[in-house]
Amino acid sequence: MTIFPIVLLFIFHTSTAQTWIKAGYWYTGSEFPVPNINSALFTHLICAFAYINPSTHELFLRASDDPYVSNFAATVKKSNPSVIPLLSIWTPNGEYGNNENSSEFLTMTENPSYRKNFIESSIKTARRYGFEGLDLYVTTLLSTTENMNTSNLGVLFDEWRVAVDSEMKKSTNQKKLILTMAGRYSPELNSVNYPVDSVSRSFDWVHVRSYDYHTPLTENFTAAHGALYDPSSHVNTDYGINEWIKRGLAASKLVVGLAYHGYAWTLRDPTNSAIGAPAKGVAITRDGSVSYEYIKKYLRGYGVKPVYNSTYVMNYCEIGSFWIGFDDVEAIRVKVEYAKAKGLVGYNAWQVSNDYNWELSKAAAQEEDKYNNHKRILAITLCTVASIILVLGCIAFYLRKKIISKVNQLMNHRKPSYHNQQVISFSDIREATNNFSEENKLGEGGYGPVYKGKLSNGQEIAVKRLSHSSKQGFEEFKNEVTFATKLQHVNLVKLLGFCTEREEKMLIYEYMPNKSLDFYLFDPSRRLMLNWEKWIDIIEGIIQGLLYLQEYSRLTIVHRDLKASNILLDANMKPKISDFGIAKSVQNKEIEANTDRIVGTYGCVPPEYIKQGIYSQKYDVYSFGILLLQIISGKKNYNVYGPHQNLNLLEYAYVLWKGGRGMEFIDPSLNDAFSRYKLTRCIQVALLCVEEKWTQRPSMLEVSAMLRNEYASVPMPRRPAFSTNKDNEENKNETSEHVYSVDIATISQLVPR
């Protein structure tokens, strides 16, 4: 009869869940009257900005802002008494919009007395003007190039939280101040990170600046400046949110940013108006930023209807030679729905004065209302049909126990055919990993944390434990166990055993002491630990592992997640392919297969899979091509390259190779008189692997032959997948005649109006 407490618990949780945050910025320079804000649409309104005096390190208001800031809290609460006003603090040097350099703020964090002045003055300023919280605007902090020392940031954050808590204890008639942080879309930039642990302890929530990824001052092609997803780049909101969560910030402390503005480009060719079309600069305004209100009026005046793109989740339109990318009602609703599904705590708009008749704010709020109505209906339904749920729950519980029992019996019964794999007890694993201690933790992936351990017989192991918050589960666990029992190769990681006790799904592997390939790949100093001969051995080992999966094993396997972090290195630096959680088995004569579930890693997934759900052996060929380009260059595939910083890794390699400058793409530490031609051939073969059409990519057998045979001619690559430009002349697959030996002007507004 436990179903009734569960129903009551659900109803209680529905009524007492954390408040959904509907926040928005109002900027003092917007000239939008504060009384005109429709505060009923928001739970929190943030007044921007107060500034930090570089001499005293205390908060101050500009004289022109004081009349607005001093009355902001009282004014917005007059129309909506429940709204919570916050004061945002600008941290870059100078005043709003001047630059992205926060060196003065970082200097302040290094001195205890400076920090104290800042903290005390911030609390006093908030109380003086009736604000119920403080917002620290550090979205551009990681872009600072001067005095880039973030070691004391965490100290400041912790001290700020202690001061706020202490003030609350001394006062009995005031609410505790809220502390929030406006951060970059991703917590890391060029190996510099926010102190996420301190951020998590000190701030009530973090709203990420999930927009302004691309602007016409920095890109000479049209782009989705607030892309929720981007199949060819990590510069997107979903990737950033996942990175914050992976670094340790709970989803329940994250707020997604919404942009009430767009950007206008001038097209080079008005007949080409797709996303990624060539452009020649800004349009309409000085920096190309255009408010949603102005965009709507512009569209209405020209009678133009915007196009919605579900791949990136954005809207765009073309007016003559002008191209405008922005978020309309459709995109806003999808992003709010995404935040709900992801377990985030709300949304925050920049800036509310840019809205048009409050259309975007209403759309965002309605999406939340729809979600709440759904919860209420669900709660009522649960109460009404509790008896049915009780019966179904009992049946499901019985069947689940029976299935798990059968699975365990089957695994134990077939244990001899598992090539020395064994069912390992939970207590043995707990002892081996020192009770899953942090000291034993090697890292964490999509499946969950990985721990180093040592069994009682002295054998070192790596334990992959399914996380409760993971989107993966029994299917991935079953895949790993099933494939591991049938796949045995020197270049595949060996699965030693598993554990299903206590509802756990743990996988136990041989321990790889030299970590994964990405540990060396992108770090210049670590790359020097491996000479070209060792890199050749690693490339050859990966090829042999893929050949086994595609040609020589009993099953034909498509790995679907081949990337540097899934190539582990043993004590002799021998590569071993790992993580078969999303792998697929196809029939030997099956050319392609389809799926409705798109999985994999951004930047490593081929276009036919993203667009049509098609996967084949050529999926892994594409991923291998990317990996090969990364190995010979040391470059990441989600950064942009070229003189205009507008080419992804694949297109950058192609442009240099086609122009006869392929060696400019190569990591200089690998280039010597003996490796030059081998490296050039590697570029050419890698580019063949990442061609747009999967039918034109070579097989792994052909890849192996081309890299081994010093006299074989190699086809001329076409422009690779996800290119922003296309070569009209590349209509035929030509054969190479060559034979190689073996083997922005400153933005006026950092956050546009």
Question: Which residues carry out catalysis?
Answer: 561
The backbone torsions φ and ψ at residue 720, rounded to the nearest 5 degrees and listed phi first, read -75, 175
Q: 182 exposed, middle or buried (CB, 10 Å; 0-12, 13-18, 19+)?
A: buried
Task: For residue 254, give the 3-state DSSP assignment.
Answer: strand
- Which residues partner with 24 through β-bridges? 45, 349
Cα 117 off chain centre by: 36
DSSP tag of 185: S
Q: Are 649 and 630 in contact (CB under 8 A)?
A: yes
DSSP tag of 416: G
- Which residues partner with 265 through β-bridges? 282, 323
Query: d(Cα 489, Cα 545) in Å, to the nearest integer?
Result: 7
CA dihedral 656, 659, 663, 667 (to 10 degrees): -10
- Which residues partner with 563 through β-bridges? none
* Max Cα-Cα span within the chain: 84
Place of tokens 């910083």: 645
Residues 6+ apart with CB under 8 A from 696: 718, 733
Query: d(Cα 684, Cα 682) in Å, to the nearest integer?
Result: 5
Query: d(Cα 567, Cα 730) in Å, to the nearest integer?
Result: 34
Cα 357 off chain centre by: 33
Residue 527 parent element (H or E) = helix 524-527
> How far are the Cα atoms of 413, 491, 532, 629 from residue 574, in angstroms, in the given order?
34, 7, 14, 19
Tokens for 243?
Answer: 């990175």
Strand bridging mode 261-267 / 322-326: antiparallel
